[in-house]
Chains A and B, each alone.
Chain A
């Protein structure tokens, strides 16, 4: 309620220490979007069903709609807003943009962060490992294929390989 007293916590958001006060029932999703102005994190159900609100909590993907803001005191939260640094896109953002892995773009921040966590743990994932890692994230636009290809291409580049998108994925057969 509007007159409910707020609680204040300290946490690190995108590498910066911050304090934020909010009603104690609020989820991390709501704290990020409503109290910290980080609207890059989206929501599709607010029930933990679609993965759209995924952020990294201490480098692990979590559904921010199922995590209480209060539970994040003293922890590190990473959102899509921090992926591009120094005015340059993250390699995953580059490949998502180039391959059309983002169509409407609504589920994209969640896919990017889930993929980033996957590549941190496994720099050389197979297609099946990518599918398994992304199985909790729904996308209604792409059919996922361009997303797999973007993750694979970014993984190769992050390993230092000179990789380009395949001709078939850009021009068909």
Chain B
């Protein structure tokens, strides 16, 4: 919805980088080349779990063209994205933990020579027992994949209880328990990760890299290379897609930096597509159990949710991912008492981490299918049931998440009406069906990865006497439009054309820190920082313009490149003249802005994951066409409504919605990280051909409704859109398949094999269901008990009886 008072916000403008993108002028990391540049290749482990007995790089070093070879001992300091999981080495030191773990790095004058030399590095392994699933790791505490973690091969164990959940569940007229499994899948950005390092003899290092988080790469380089951060410059090149897969500091970034330091020459690496699968950090395969007490009218009385995550070989964001599998269940439907238990296992597979929706698509799938089953059991329309149980706006949840604006009711109403839900649900002929699901997502995390009191996002703004404005911000353009958001917000406040604004981003030498493009945080956080910097600049300019025009400062207006008297638009000056008057009076016109999220309401251990300045909401209806002969599921249309608070650029918002639907459709129907558990845990399909993702032929039509319920914490009321709309797709597809052919596929992806298997079972009079049937015994810790807000709780945990 375009706001008439606003000239930029809400309009479907071209993105500021669109011209460079469509002309091929955008420089991605692999497009960079420097004189005398060397090429780096990594040797990766061929074993899923093994001790490294010896590494002999001598033959590789002697190979023509090779300038340097590194092994683990050259980079002995561990790193990792989270302070609690510093468990990675740039190159493995004593052992390897998955097929694809980097073992050695070669720099040579050509890529061919580097590749050939990698083959000459002799590595002797002593194989260890390997684990291909979370269940295997639960059963086998030894041998340990890592020498840290909460128990055996369990990396993290969480037990949080908000009120007496068992008593709450017992109050239900019905109690329902369901088990679900969500298979792992990967981001699959079209751009393979690439990085170029340049070392200068004055002791300065520059790294260009396709990362979503230059600030954290900066930290990791300083730590591992033992260099002052001030001597390291990290520049995030525009990412050719990220989706969370470029949010960790990576081995290849550290390796090229070290090789540049040793050789004194620029060093570049571009991963092969196969290596991108080994970098992974994608969706955790997750087994879930949900047990809920519900009154006859649909009111939830209590819920117990358990999740077991297959983390792969390293920590990555996994501790946060595990908390996220329990955090956001409470922000859609009112859950008065809630018990969450989450466990993350290490396995000998590529490390899992944050993929679009980070830890929340799996439990959202479970919750939304579970609710669909509850609605059927109670004989209530699933849309009606959800509408009855919505969390009210401006409220606290059982786990102390502060919900602000909440447009889910409007979202449900829109898609129910638009899709013709009431006429279609349970009435379409065999093979056709509709399913509904909802979701919510954070607009940035309330707490930073490294806990401190500094802002999460900073902006510097410079006004030029020629009328140009430059915005400097650490935020990283990954295709989502973050550079444009900065320009639009500053343009709105200063009344200038967004295309007159230069945007300088993601350069640790030039730009104030922004934590990175993850958690859907950038529009809200860097947007608020830009808003503050622009408002401060407007104050300075208005002061001096008012003096020159001899009108009260409150009457000064900024629009269309002019600064003028609101009561007499002819009395005014150009924006450039206003800058000149201010510059003459005060010197260079520059301001700063920053943003720190509000304090979390909860203070219990674990309260750091889930709080956000604002939550987005989505509802979708999926229509499916299931072939009862083949089990093939086709999706002709998805109706989606998304509560974005306020669309800064509606076309960009719709682009994020459609992209999310697309990615969710892939997760629902086909995408999976498949390994051969019985053949050394080798990745089955590390290629774009074999890892199935939707092409134009599988993609559905999408009908998008934007719900704008401005949130007081967002810039101009804006909330997130990049991740939330993905979440309801998978459960809505599952619910639609049930409506179409009467079978429950309680796991994704929903492949034709699973649909046929369930239909055949149903035909034989068995349960028409495919999905997990048990949840393993986990050594859960003593729960952290937190009284709910409505029981007089204050967000603190009760003292443990053992303390």
Contact = CB atoms under 8 A, between A and B. Distances in A.
Do chains A and B interact in one complex?
yes
Interface of A: 1-3, 33-34, 39-47, 49-50, 52, 79-81, 83-84, 89, 93, 96-100, 102-109, 112, 130-132, 134-146, 148, 165, 168-173
B658 A81 contact: no
Given A89-B19, A105-B479, A2 B113 contact: yes
A172 B654 contact: yes
Contact of B241 (A106, A109, A130): A106
A106 B20 CA distance: 11
Contacts of B660: 143
20 contacts: A33-B31, A39-B27, A42-B191, A43-B192, A52-B190, A80-B22, A80-B23, A103-B481, A104-B238, A104-B479, A105-B17, A105-B240, A106-B240, A106-B241, A139-B190, A140-B190, A143-B663, A171-B2, A171-B12, A171-B650
Contact of A84 (B23, B188, B702, B704): B23
A4 B500 CA distance: 49
Given A106-B28, A143-B699, A170-B654, A45 B273 contact: yes
A171 B706 contact: yes
Contacts of A145: 658, 699, 701-702
Contact of B110 (A1, A45, A50, A100): A1
Pairs of residues from A and B, 5 with the lowest C-beta to C-beta distance, nearest first: A40-B24, A104-B479, A105-B21, A106-B240, A143-B662
Nearest to B28: A106
Scoring B14, B112, B695 by chain A CB atoms within 10 A of each residue's CB, the highest score goes to B695
Contacts of A84: 23
B689 A47 contact: yes
A44 B688 contact: yes
B801 interface: no
A84 B478 CA distance: 24
B628 interface: no
Contacts of A165: 12
A97 B240 contact: no
Contacts of B324: none
B109 interface: yes
Contacts of B191: 42, 44, 104, 106
A40 B651 contact: no
Nearest to B24: A40
Interface in B568-607: none
Given A140-B187, A145-B702, 4 more contacts: A43-B192, A47-B687, A97-B21, A143-B663
Contact of B696 (A47, A131, A172): A131
Interface string B183-205: 00001111110000000000000
Interface string B687-725: 111000101110101111110000000000000000000
Contact of B240 (A39, A42, A83, A146): A42
Interface in B19-43: 19-28, 30-31, 33
A90 to B, nearest CB: 8
Given A100-B652, A143-B662, A1 B18 contact: no
A100 to B, nearest CB: 4
B493 to A, nearest CB: 23
Nearest to B704: A172
Nearest to B25: A40
A105 B24 CA distance: 8
B651 A100 contact: yes
A84 B696 CA distance: 26
Interface in B214-242: 238-242
Contacts of B793: none
Contacts of A81: 23-24
Interface in B652-700: 652-655, 658-663, 687-689, 693, 695-697, 699
A64 to B, nearest CB: 13
Contacts of B240: 42, 104-107
B695 A135 contact: yes
Contacts of B206: none
Contacts of A143: 658-663, 699, 702
Contact of B273 (A44, A80, A171): A44
A80 B26 CA distance: 12
B188 to A, nearest CB: 6
B64 interface: yes
B14 A97 contact: yes
Interface string B452-478: 000000000000000000000000001
Interface of B: 1-2, 12, 14-15, 17-28, 30-31, 33, 64-65, 109-110, 112-113, 187-192, 238-243, 272-273, 414, 418, 478-481, 650-655, 658-663, 687-689, 693, 695-697, 699, 701-706
A127 to B, nearest CB: 9
B663 A109 contact: no
Contact of B112 (A1, A89, A106, A136): A1
Contacts of B109: 2
Given A1-B64, A2-B113, A170-B651, A83 B688 contact: no
B22 A96 contact: yes
A76 B659 CA distance: 35
Given A140-B241, A144-B699, A173-B418, A102 B22 contact: yes
B697 A131 contact: yes
B113 A1 contact: yes
A138 B190 contact: yes
A130 to B, nearest CB: 8
B655 to A, nearest CB: 4
Given A89-B19, A97-B19, A141 B697 contact: no
Contacts of B33: 34
Contact of A146 (B14, B28, B64, B658): B658
A171 B187 CA distance: 28
A132 B278 CA distance: 32
Nearest to A30: B111
A89 B24 CA distance: 12
A144 B696 contact: yes
A141 B241 contact: yes
B189 A140 contact: yes
B2 A142 contact: no
A167 B188 CA distance: 31
A98 B19 CA distance: 9
Nearest to B665: A143
B683 to A, nearest CB: 15
Nearest to A142: B659
Contacts of A89: 19, 22-23
Given A50-B190, A96-B22, A104-B239, A172 B650 contact: yes
Scoring B1, B26, B109, B188 by chain A CB atoms within 10 A of each residue's CB, the highest score goes to B26
Given A39-B24, A105-B22, A173 B704 contact: yes
Nearest to A97: B18
B110 A2 contact: yes
A173 B705 contact: yes
Contacts of B661: 143
